[in-house]
Structure 1
Amino acid sequence: MAQRGIREYEGKKILFDGLAKQLPSFKGKSEKLALVQPGTDPKRLVKDHPWLLKEKLVAKPDQLFGKRGKHGLLCLNADWKTAWKWISDRMNKTVTVGKTTGVLNTFMIEPFTPHKEDAEECYVAIRAYRDYDMVYLSNKGGIYVEENWEKVKETRVPILSSIADVKLNMPDFGKRAAQIEEFVKALYNVYAEGGFTYLEINPFTFSGDDIVPLDLVAKVDDTAAFECAKVWDGLEFPAAFGTTHTKEEDFIRSLDEKTGASLKLTVLNPKGRIWNMVAGGGASVIYADTVCDLGYSKELANYGEYSGDPSAEDTYQYARTVLDLMTREKGIKNKVLIIGGGIANFTDVAKTFTGIIKALNEYKAKLTEQKVKIYVRRGGPNYKEGLANMRKLGETLGVPIEVYGPETHMTSVVSMALGGKK
């Protein structure tokens, strides 16, 4: 499982559509959200969203960072012309938020809800843990919720439990208590059905008798893409603020979207000498953590995994992408490629190794020229055949390949590849 941040715009569309099925006051709210990016035509935007000309508006960056109010990145109670000028003045501008510097290129517009900040801002969040979800509730939300964390009430929701059967630990919400409890339980249903791992609304407030979520932060489990395809409706996973996706990362992401398997790649340091090609999400964490524990974190080039029994062709495309990145920088000494993994449950090791071997042969000249050392460790269905094929490859590839089976621990292979602790 990989937890992926999503834009507030898309998070609110999922949220409002889900809440509308349970609470009548949320019907139509998902239609009053607008996204602005470079190239957005204001005339077309107004045509698609006529409410922009009729209501007071909020405009804000939508790029996976918080505390926008503290950094002066909120335009409140504005008409359309003011909101559009505010966005235009900041589009493609470089700003620093905390310790992160990046370019503003995505903004969200929604209706403005007037309220009293001190008296009418509440907080709710839901977070996934291993054996339960935790619901957090406070009657003191807003930008200072962290300073008032002692006011936050917590409720555990065991896995596979129904929120309807759970008694919420509620702060004092006065006459709105029953309404907020109904809202939070409906919110949890959206969270559970939408593949969320984290959902925070800070704050939510009130407009007359209606609850209004103002700012939202959300993460989803990207392995739920197939199950939640209808709910997500083409959901995108943008890069974190201050970072950009490489074309190789985008390519692997496109492969991942087209297959029932899982293919993930993040380039950490293109000039690093330690490259991992690991099967399994859990194993990928172990291999990366071991590299760091041994003192080589600055030399770790990538993080990623392939799993879910990908085809030989998908594995070939994944492997050649990693090898292409690995062999671009020619002046780096002692390069190591670790083709690792745990003991697979159903992934055909021999089949996936067929794709990897094809890619290794394709990059034979570059691997030989750069004197790359390769270490292989794997177990699972047909692993003996897969390991035998790797050993046979070692006779012709021109670079040393050390091959190990499940009798050798994953961390031991990493230690051998790197020569022990730094």
Structure 2
Amino acid sequence: MARKKIREYDSKRLLKEHLKRLAGIELQIYSAQVIEATDFTELTDKEPWLSSNKLVVKPDMLFGKRGKSGLVALNLDLAQVAQFVKSRLGVEVEIGGCKAPITTFIVEPFVPHDHEYYLSIVSDRLGSIISFSECGGIEIEENWKKVKTVFLPTEKTMTNDICAPLIATLPLEVREKIGHFIRGVFSVFQDLDFSFLEMNPFTLVNGEPFPLDMRGELDDTASFKNFNKWGNLEFPLPFGRVMSPTESFIHSLDEKTSASLKFTVLNPNGRIWTMVAGGGASVIYADTVGDLGYASELGNYAEYSGAPKEDEVLQYARVVLDCATSDPDGRKRALLIGGGIANFTDVAATFNGIICALREKESKLKAARMHIYVRRGGPNYQTGLARMRALGAELGVPLERYGVGGRGCQPFAASECYSRQQSTRERNLDGCWCEEMKIFADVSTRSRRLLDWPRPPVRWRCWHQDLETGTTSTAASSSVKEAIGGSESSSQWPERRM
């Protein structure tokens, strides 16, 4: 499941539109979205309630704690709202360590209220978790012990009995109304494929539920069946994240294909670049580079899977290679083309697109002093690796390739030393890790030597086989300690993550 955040404006729009259809509840909520291009005169003509109510205005940028950050203004008239927006639109703010300008606001009627409730629904692997509290609002975290939670398995439906523990302590005059509201919200949650929904707080206005603040996340893989229900819905980037032109191009390719094409630039000046087949393998490659201590040199995260067409791989590889070879500075670079063992993807066919791109970028590869390492398994992989070997000779670019049965492919040997220190469960995970990471048994040592990097300390080296000796290294030299500026337990080397 892919969980994509949506704006508060869209969360409330979807809830209002579909709660009446599914539960017969008509919410009396109104909201308007304000961006840089908004004309307040035209907006007032479209939403006449703006000129007749006191208003609330706040950023709608996928981050929380807006009230605690002083970004919510209450009880304003329309002129004051316009001034508030004008003074903050485009202004950069820092939230949770992320900096970005504010570009979108939500405006709503100001609703005086005495009581605040909390409601959240989260999709879990085996069902849904529904949480409710009579003590909602900005202090919900401080009052988390008062939150009541029930788990609803996937195969069961929401009933009065399941909802009863959540509302058991409410006064009788509001208990049934809030219970009906919770059941209705859950129906919307399921019908529209929400993966997360939170109201903090909602209140009662004239005895009817009224969401004041709301967050939502949708399963975007269900967009094909919810196109009409969701309407003109935008999935904004996370706060602080700006998509580059190259990332936008790959994103557009990804939207047009049944395959998966993902690309994110992490460090434009990085010297390690990846082009990895498979979502799991791509994460493992990136994690391993970081675990070896070279996260600052990792240029990108890249993943292609789902049997993309040759032309799609060609366009994808062109973008990766352009980024990997940009601004040559005389230092050596490494490109890892790899993945797990494919189940149905024709390795030779996908390699054809990569090979065409490598031919096109020959001069750039040489200027960047790029060394290429290839490892792949699966249908027709021998043909693909043979073509890669021929390409290396043709271009005169250093290129090494490895298959399922090549050197360094013993799936458990590389982790043997490290595994002695782990539990049985962790050892099993480590075996799976090495099955996917066979390439690093060969490539990581050579890449470090190629790029003139120090070998990592013992707790990484022990699970990477030394190609020259065929043994596993067990000690760190004093030169390594000097190179990393400390001992083997230096904080520069974070604990290995699974």
Q: TM-score, length-normalised on structure 1?
A: 0.90
Contact 2:27-2:210 at 8 Å conserved across structures: no
> Tell me, which stretches of 5 or more residues in structure 2 are unaligned?
410-434, 449-454, 457-498
Q: 2:189 aligns with which of 191, 202, 207?
A: 191
Q: Residues of 2 paired with 1:394 and 1:299: CA distance?
A: 24
Cα distance, 1:74 vs structure 2 = 0.8
1:13-412 correspondence runs (5 A): 13-26=13-26, 29=29, 32-116=30-114, 120-164=115-159, 167-168=162-163, 169-171=165-167, 172-175=169-172, 176-331=174-329, 333-406=331-404, 408=409, 409-412=435-438
Segments of 4+ in structure 1 off by > 6 A? Answer: none
1:7 paired with 2:3, answer no
Contact 1:273-1:332 at 8 Å conserved across structures: no
Cα distance, 1:364 vs structure 2 = 1.4
SS in structure 2 of the partner of residue 396 of structure 1 = helix
Q: Residues of 2 paired with 1:354 and 1:275: CA distance?
A: 19
Q: C-alpha offsets along residues 208-233 of structure 1, whole Å, 9 cap, x if unaligned? A: 12211222222333333323333333
Change (3 A) 1:306 1:150: same
| Higher mean displacement: 156-165 or 391-400 | 156-165
Counterpart residue type for residue 146 of structure 2: K
Contact 2:131-2:166 at 8 Å conserved across structures: no
Superposed CA RMSD in Å reads: 2.5
Q: Residues of 2 paired with 1:416 and 1:196: CA distance?
A: 44
Identity fraction in percent: 46
Contact 1:276-1:304 at 8 Å conserved across structures: yes
The residue that corresponds to 2:464 in the other structure is: none
Q: C-alpha offsets along residues 380-400 of structure 1, whole Å, 9 cap, x if unaligned? A: 444343333333322323223
Q: Residues of 2 paired with 1:387 and 1:162: CA distance?
A: 52
SS in structure 2 of the partner of residue 249 of structure 1 = helix
Q: Residues of 2 paired with 1:381 and 1:67: CA distance?
A: 51
SS in structure 2 of the partner of residue 337 of structure 1 = strand
Q: C-alpha offsets along residues 264-295 of structure 1, whole Å, 9 cap, x if unaligned? A: 22211111112222222222222222222222
Contact 2:59-2:105 at 8 Å conserved across structures: yes
SS in structure 2 of the partner of residue 304 of structure 1 = strand
Change (3 A) 1:415 1:128: farther
Contact 2:33-2:104 at 8 Å conserved across structures: yes
Q: Residues of 1 paired with 2:235 and 2:387: CA distance?
A: 37
Q: C-alpha offsets along residues 130-163 of structure 1, whole Å, 9 cap, x if unaligned? A: 3333222222111111111111222223344433
Change (3 A) 1:141 1:382: farther
Bigger relative contact order, structure 1 or 2, given CA contacts below 8 A and separation 6+?
1
Counterpart residue type for residue 130 of structure 1: R
Q: Residues of 2 paired with 1:155 and 1:343: CA distance?
A: 41
Q: C-alpha offsets along residues 105-149 of structure 1, whole Å, 9 cap, x if unaligned? A: 111112222212xxx211122223333332222221111111111
Q: Residues of 2 paired with 1:166 and 1:402: CA distance?
A: 64
Q: Residues of 2 paired with 1:166 and 1:355: CA distance?
A: 58
SS in structure 1 of the partner of residue 395 of structure 2 = coil
Change (3 A) 1:71 1:322: same
Counterpart residue type for residue 270 of structure 1: P
Q: Residues of 2 paired with 1:413 and 1:182: CA distance?
A: 56
Q: Residues of 1 paired with 2:24 and 2:160: CA distance?
A: 22
Counterpart residue type for residue 134 of structure 2: N
Aligned residues: 417
Counterpart residue type for residue 22 of structure 1: L
Counterpart residue type for residue 224 of structure 2: F
Q: Residues of 2 paired with 1:292 and 1:177: CA distance?
A: 52
Larger gyration radius, structure 1 or structure 2: 2
Contact 1:157-1:166 at 8 Å conserved across structures: no
Counterpart residue type for residue 390 of structure 1: M
Q: Residues of 1 paired with 2:331 and 2:8: CA distance?
A: 44
Q: TM-score, length-normalised on structure 2?
A: 0.77
Q: Residues of 1 paired with 2:161 and 2:303: CA distance?
A: 37
> Tell me, which stretches of 5 or more residues in structure 1 are unaligned?
none
Q: Residues of 2 paired with 1:293 and 1:165: CA distance?
A: 50
Q: Residues of 2 paired with 1:165 and 1:384: CA distance?
A: 60
Contact 2:177-2:208 at 8 Å conserved across structures: no
Contact 2:55-2:107 at 8 Å conserved across structures: yes
Change (3 A) 1:62 1:390: same
